[in-house]
Chain A
Amino acid sequence: MLKVIGMRLKRLILGTFFILLLVLLCYNYVSNDNYRDHIVGGLLTDYSENQIAVSGEVTRIYNDGFEIYVFSNDKFYRIIADSKVSLGNDAYISGTLNSHNEIIANKIVITKGDEIIFVIFRSLFGAIMFLLIFGRYWKFNREKMLFLRKYSDFPDQKILKNPRRWGHQKSIVPERLGNAVHVKKSVFGVAKLVLQTSRFIILTAFSKIFKKILRRK
């Protein structure tokens, strides 16, 4: 019992530590302007110093280009390019940054609102798919605050027949944190052992008594 409480406390401390670290990272990102200039590092090609990649909403259209508003660094960029855009389109641009927030674009991708909605719709479908897959193989134990593998009601009968072949070893679950199935099994095991022992004792006693009675007769 003490071990289980200790484990929970350890998990709580570790969890708090990870979340605090993440909050610190997020705070560092927001407070440091360097990270919001969107400087591109070349992955396949060499990169020049002023090469940036930004995405934002088209706010103005000029003869030789257009203007976008980038929310992440709260800046307006003037893009010099031949692309046809409409107000309100989302534009992804990579290019060379000149003075006065002017970008000579190398590559531009324009996305419309309905295309983004289609992506979100597909992602929602994906989310449902994920929930179905996860729910099929894992269950959450509220008491222990742990996700446990579904052993007892696993859908694939082959795995039930031969769990070791499929990597489902019962020994993976430690006894001290064992799930309800294990506890149930051990309780039934002890009860069965007690019953069998008592039956053996009673039968032996009865047989001895009967033998004595028969000898007397």
Chain B
Amino acid sequence: MPDWITHILVPWTLITILGFKFKQFNQQNAAITIIGALIPDIYKIYIPLEIFGIHLENFLNPIHFPVGSLLIAAFLSLFFIERRLIFSFLTLGIITHYALDLLLFNGGICLFYPFSPLEFQVGIISVTDYNITIASIIAAFMVYFIYKRANK
């Protein structure tokens, strides 16, 4: 996975750019999209659990597949009033997460689980590569300044 800075800044940048044209893409909904972008990484909870001798890596892996992430998004949207809208933004965040993860070279993602065991990846960048983080920070800063200027 790229680090969470990238996973947070990419959807925020996307929503802010779309917000110049569509009013629904506001900063409140950007926060929801960011949650969506972090949903697939919930399965990383296995790392602290391993300290206590609980090995759940394999069991929790489907959370990092689209079907598992969408189920969690559906569950989380129950904690909001505008469920459909929130689910849509969570899904958008999930899409950005997989779009970024597909660029990685780390073993691939079962995009079509449970229908196919094939794992997919493009394999352009490594897990520890921080160039993508720097690129996302620069892009986010540029969009932020344009956003601030437009709202003056």
Contact = CB atoms under 8 A, between A and B. Distances in A.
Contacts of B31: 133-134, 136-138
Given A19-B75, A43-B121, A123 B3 contact: yes
Interface in A1-52: 11, 14-15, 18-19, 21-22, 25-30, 34-44
A62 interface: no
Contacts of A43: 102, 120-122
Contacts of B58: 29-30, 36, 72
Nearest to B41: A123
Contacts of B145: none
A145 B118 CA distance: 39
Contacts of A42: 120
A111 interface: yes
Secondary structure of the A contact surface, majority rule:
helix
- Chain B interface bracket (under 10, 10 to 19, 20 to 34, 35 or more): 35 or more
A33 B74 CA distance: 28
A15 B108 CA distance: 29
Contacts of B123: 94, 107
B126 A109 contact: yes
A26 B60 contact: yes
26 contacts: A18-B71, A22-B68, A26-B59, A26-B68, A29-B114, A38-B107, A40-B119, A41-B119, A43-B102, A44-B122, A53-B107, A53-B121, A92-B107, A94-B123, A119-B128, A122-B3, A122-B130, A123-B5, A124-B4, A126-B3, A126-B6, A134-B35, A146-B79, A166-B23, A168-B28, A173-B81
